[in-house]
Structure 1
Amino acid sequence: MKENSPQISVVIPVLNEEKYIKKVLTHIKKNARSGRILEILVVDGGSTDATVAIAISLGATVISSDRGRARQMNLGAKMAAGELLYFLHVDTIPPLNFDTDILNSYVNGFEAGCFRLQFDTSHPVLRFFAWCSRMNYQICRGGDQSLFISKNLFLRSGKFNESYIIYEDNEFIGRLYKLANFTIIPTAVKTSARRYRQKGIFTLQYHFGVVHLKHYLGTGPEALYSYYKKHIAV
């Protein structure tokens, strides 16, 4: 990769994620190959466990934030020095050469995109939904697929809407589809199916479908969060 290639700031919002933070930070360093990862910003929403200590011990920069993933990601983007932002959930592992794939996509004219999805389970229902992530349609998007975006486009887009306590990724990506060419990189991140294990695959997928439908029909962020608290939150 050329020395004048854009630099990447990885932004990971966290809250009490001591079980996952070590794994994701280790794999970021292990799977990056371009030499263009400028920084890893762990944006903490007030953890009371060992999340922050583990992140610091592994060389990440920890930023303290008010709680709320949209708010945390916006703060991470504001503090980021890289020309490209890579938003990653703490329980999602990027593939080998993910950084090179992001840079190649950017060089080829894409200011925003994500990876395909793979769950850490072989359950056929989740395998089907993961397969759908290869299709470049807004309905197939989600935060677990991670997101790269140029900082310039991020600022032009209006950033994450902090009114959304949940569904902030989907709402934001929906706006990106209208502003820029969005690409799906043909390798997969691997994400944890922990919520499906906790709630049940069919039950959780049903409620996620209801949330999508409610948003499509114009339901606001507060009502979406109320539904989430009642039916999805653990």
Structure 2
Amino acid sequence: MIRSPYRISVIIPVFNEEAHIVATVRHLQKFCANDYIEEILIVDGGSTDNTLSVLKNTGATVLNAPKGRAVQMNYGAAKAKGSILYFLHADTLPPKDFGKSIVEAVLHDHQAGCFQMIFDSDSRFLEFFAWFSRLNIRLCRGGDQSLFITKKLFQALNGFNEDYHIYEDNEFIGRLYKHTPFKILPQRVKTSARRYEKHGKIKLQYHFGMIHLKSRLGAGPDQLYQYYRQHIA
């Protein structure tokens, strides 16, 4: 196999993810050839469980940063060696040969994009909302779908806005949509439905919708976080 001219740095921000992170790392190693992956960077935000200890001997590189997804992802991006950054949630599993799909997209001049999504649940309600991830409109985007972007473009946009304690993925992708064509890859990541099971599917989806609406109506990062703390956290 010819070594790819582009190399991917997978960046996963974590906080107390001992139950999921090892399975995610093993999945990444199993379903993507080394010809595409430069490194797997786990950026820990001060976990108080066994996240750090379970990651020993997995082959992933563990970095430590202040807690906050935007801060952690920016830190990982600054340390990344790859020319493509791939941001992934700790409980989301990419499709087989995801690295090849991402590199081929970049080779075809797509500087940023994501995969479609399904949940690890039989819920028709969640299946309905996951269906919309195939639509290439900003409203249908979210961090659970993962995100690939060239490091050059990420740096040009100054990365994630660290004022956002939540909604940082959506805010950044909103800027991406204004700057470059956004690519939706046909394969699907599988993400955990654990938060929906914890809070209630309809209730959580309603509050996520309200956060989207508040942002569109001009609410800033502090107002969004206040709503999140009141209704979800």
Shift of 1:3: 2.0
Paired letter, 1:128: F
Q: Which residue of 2 aligns with 1:219?
A: 219
Q: Distance in 2 between the 1:135 and 1:53 partners?
A: 39
What's the RMSD between the two structures over aligned residues? 0.9
2:4, 2:35 within 8 Å by CA — same for their partners in 1? Answer: no
Deviations 1:209-228 (A, max 9, x none): 00000000000100100100
Shift of 1:4: 4.6
Q: Distance in 1 between the 2:35 and 2:28 partners?
A: 12
Q: Which residue of 2 aligns with 1:122?
A: 122
1:134, 1:184 within 8 Å by CA — same for their partners in 2? Answer: yes
1:74 maps to 2:36: no
Q: Distance in 2 between the 1:197 and 1:137 partners?
A: 27
Q: Distance in 2 between the 1:122 and 1:48 partners?
A: 32
Q: SS in structure 2 opposite 1:57? A: coil
Moved segments of 4+, more than 6 Å? none
Q: Which residue of 2 aligns with 1:26?
A: 26
Q: Which residue of 2 aligns with 1:199?
A: 199
Q: Distance in 2 between the 1:169 and 1:177 partners?
A: 12
Q: Distance in 1 between the 2:50 and 2:59 partners?
A: 15
TM-score, structure 2 length as denominator? 0.98
TM-score, structure 1 length as denominator? 0.98
Shift of 1:75: 0.2
Shift of 1:49: 1.3
Q: SS in structure 2 opposite 1:99? A: helix
Q: Which residue of 2 aligns with 1:173?
A: 173
Q: Distance in 1 between the 2:178 and 2:198 partners?
A: 35
1:14, 1:43 within 8 Å by CA — same for their partners in 2? Answer: yes
Q: Distance in 1 between the 2:14 and 2:108 partners?
A: 32
1:15 maps to 2:15: yes
1:41 maps to 2:36: no
1:208 maps to 2:208: yes
1:102-113 pair list within 5 angstroms = 102-113=102-113
Q: Distance in 2 between the 1:205 and 1:36 partners?
A: 35
Q: Distance in 1 between the 2:184 and 2:4 partners?
A: 24
Shift of 1:2: 3.3
Paired letter, 1:188: R
Task: Point out where structure 2 has 5 or more consecutive residues left out of the alignment.
Answer: none
Q: SS in structure 2 opposite 1:95? A: coil
1:34, 1:97 within 8 Å by CA — same for their partners in 2? Answer: no
Shift of 1:53: 1.7
Count, aligned residues: 233
Q: SS in structure 2 opposite 1:177? A: helix
Q: Distance in 2 between the 1:124 and 1:203 partners?
A: 15
Paired letter, 2:173: I
Amino-acid identity (%): 54
Q: SS in structure 1 opposite 2:55? A: helix
Q: Distance in 2 between the 1:189 and 1:232 partners?
A: 24
Paired letter, 2:102: I
Shift of 1:55: 1.9
For residues 34 and 135 of structure 1, do their structure 2 counterparts lie closer, same or farther at Cα, with a shift above 3 Å needed?
farther
Paired letter, 1:185: L
> Which one is further off, 198-207 or 48-57?
48-57
Q: SS in structure 2 opposite 1:66? A: coil
1:142, 1:170 within 8 Å by CA — same for their partners in 2? Answer: yes
1:56-67 pair list within 5 angstroms = 56-67=56-67
